[in-house]
Amino acid sequence: MTSDYSNFYKGKIFAGPMVRASCLPFRLTCLDYGADGVYGPATSCDSILSSHIEENNPRRLLFGTPSSSYVHFHSVERESGKLVFQILAHDSNKAIQAVNVVSSFADAIDLNCGCPESFATSKGDGSALMNDPQTVSEIISSLKRNFSIPISVKHRIHSKIEHSIQFAVACQNAGASAIAVHGRLKEQKHKGSVAYDDMKLVFEHINVAKIGNGGVKNRKMANEMIEKTGCDSIIISGAAIKNPSCFSNEMQDPITVARKILINARENGCYDRREWRWIVNAMIGKHRLYTKSPEYERMSKMETLDEFDEFFAQENPFK
């Protein structure tokens, strides 16, 4: 069974877990352009436990009380078999409780041990866990005992490569079905060179699924990382925000992609702007061709799906 769970992560290019970006319309658009699997955004156990499943929709997680709530996480059947739900956790009991809430729609659970941002590390989550393999092992083994679902861990290269190897091996020994390694130090965040050689050393010491991450912008670069590090699969994150069609062999222009995101939002009932607005603005905002247009400021102030639909229905929105 462990081998089957490990196989879930092999031979794939995933859209990575990104706060705010990895919303349902974005994930579906990545799948439309050829992603084999998608991660949801890193979600804290506390926020999950402050949420509830919508009464008539087991794939919608609402934050807040039943009388006053908004969509916290939204999945649809089209993601079935492809969705990895990533949690921020540093307590095994809370992790069990949180996964119990989302296990009805999550196909796999990933423990975030790589996020370098203060919102995660200040609470002992994310990359702070790289210095606490015992806690990580307890969380993994607890989840493995309580759920019949693939469990993975995503972390970063440590400045001392021996530390990275020991951490990955500890995760494997605790029952992780896959180890994802971002080949940058936590201090680098999302910039700078990616240490392919260090990633390869880590992967050589584990036998479960190996996932590479960091700096990959398209399928060609994904294949290069696989060849140089020996990993089985790839996660593309930052480049996917700039243009989700990076999963395709033929890149599309951002206007076409934005229209597809909006279509996916409307077709799946994502009328709350928190489910789609940020990713459209962020994607267009990464292209100077559009940001230097006066129309960009007008778009950035729009609030509703109807407004965005009307704007992008123009042949040339950014005149």
Within-domain flag for 318: no
pLDDT of 217 over the 50 cut: yes
> Distance between CA 24 and CA 294 in Å, rounded?
29
Within-domain flag for 317: no
pLDDT of 64 over the 90 cut: no
95 and 43 in one domain? yes
86 and 129 in one domain? yes
- Given 205, 224, 247, which residue is the final one in a domain? 247
Which tokens sit at 53? 């499943």
Domain hosting residue 282, numbered range: 254-312
Predicted confidence at residue 28, as pLDDT, reads 98
pLDDT digits (tens, 9 = 90+) for 286-299: 999 999 999 999 99
281 and 217 in one domain? no
Beta bridge pairs of residue 88: 44
Q: Which helix (H) or strand (E) holds 97?
A: helix 92-102
299 and 206 in one domain? no
225 and 152 in one domain? yes
Residue whose tokens read 């994930």: 27
Phi-psi region of 31 (alpha: psi -120 to 50; beta: other; left: phi over 0): alpha
Which residue type is seen at 311? Answer: F
Total structural domains in the chain? 2
289 and 201 in one domain? no
91 and 113 in one domain? yes
pLDDT digits (tens, 9 = 90+) for 86-123: 999 999 999 999 999 999 999 999 999 998 888 898 88
- Given 247, 263, 279, which residue is the final one in a domain? 247
Residue whose tokens read 């992603």: 35
- Given 199, 227, 247, which residue is the final one in a domain? 247
Predicted confidence at residue 1, as pLDDT, reads 45
Predicted confidence at residue 190, as pLDDT, reads 82
Task: Determine if the pTM surpasses 0.85.
Answer: yes
